Amino acid sequence: MIKCLAIDDEPLALQLLADNISRIPFLELVASCDDAFAANKMIQEQSIDLIFIDIQMPGITGLQFIQSLVKKPMVIIVTAYKQYALDGFALDVVDYLMKPVSLDRFMKACNKAKDLYELKQSAEHTNLPKQDYMFVNVGYSLMKINFSEITYVEGLKDYIQIHISSSPKAAVVRMSMKNVEDQLPIYFERIHKSFIVNINKVTAIRKNALFIADKELPVSDSYKQVIEKLIK
C-alpha cells in the first residue's frame, strides 16, 4: 500500500480528495490536513509515500511547502490554478491536476505514482550494481533511457531535452538540470549551465567547445577544467 496524505484548506475539496483516494485500492490515506503546518508535523511522525496538495493555502503555499521538504515524498498537485503548472513540474511532481478532477484523470495520476513507487522499491531491494538506466516522465508515460545512449542533455528553462543516439528526436522532460545531473553516472560532465555531455561521445575538442559528431556544444569559463581533464 502507498501511504498518502491529503492537504487542502477547503473542507469540501479535502473531503472530495479523501473520497477519491478511498476508491484507489493501492492507496492508504494516513491523514487529511487543512494547512501545511499540520501536514509537516504528520510527515515528521509518519512514513508518507505520496502527498496530494493544493497550491493556494494560507501561511505557506503548496509550492513553498514542497520546496521546504528535505526528504520529499512523491507529490501530486490538485489545484484550480493552471498558471503554476510549470513551477510544479520544475519541482518534479508526479502530476498536476486541475479542479474539478474527474475520477479517470485522478486514477491516471495515481497509476503514475504507483509505477514510480514500484521502481523505487525495486531499486532499493535489489543487490545488483547501480542501474545503468533511468525512467523519466514523457507525456503520460514513463520512458526508460539507457545512460550509454545519452549523448548530451540540454537545459531549456522549465524543462530539459535528453538527446539519445538511438533516436533522432530528443526526449523532452519536466526536470531540472540539477536533478538529472545527480542521476547520471561519472562519465557525464557539466560543461555549461545548459549542457551536460557524455564524455564517451565527444569526437573533437576546441578551446571553448566540444563536439559530438557534428553538434558543437559551448564550454563556459566555469567548466574549462573539463577540457583539461579530457585532454589529460
Helices (H), 29-142: 36-45, 62-68, 85-90, 103-125
- pLDDT score recorded for residue 128: 46
User: DSSP string covering 171-229, please?
Assistant: EEE---HHHHHHHS-TTEEEEETTEEEEGGG--EEETTEEEETTEEEE--GGGHHHHHH
Residue length of the chain: 232
pLDDT at residue 111 greater than cutoff 80: yes
pLDDT at residue 207 greater than cutoff 60: yes
pLDDT in tens, 27-81: 999 999 999 889 988 988 888 999 999 999 888 899 999 988 877 899 999 999 8
**Percent of the chain at pLDDT above 70?**
96
- pLDDT score recorded for residue 123: 67
Closest to 2 (Cα-Cα) out of 100, 120, 179, 135: 120
Distances (CA, A) of 132 to 60, 123, 180, 187, 225: 39, 12, 14, 12, 26
Q: Please give the Cα distance from 141 to 35 (Å, whole number).
A: 31
Task: Report whether 4 contacts 27 (CB < 8 A).
Answer: yes
Name, in order, each residue with C-beta under 8 angstroms of 76's C-beta and a sequence gap of 6 or more.
50, 51, 52, 53, 93, 94, 95, 96, 97, 109, 110, 113
**127: pLDDT confidence band, cut at 50, 70 and 90?**
very low
What global pTM score does this model have? 0.56
Name, in order, each residue with C-beta under 8 angstroms of 8's C-beta and a sequence gap of 6 or more.
14, 17, 32, 34, 52, 53, 54, 57, 78
- pLDDT score recorded for residue 219: 93
CA angle 118-172-112, nearest 5°? 25
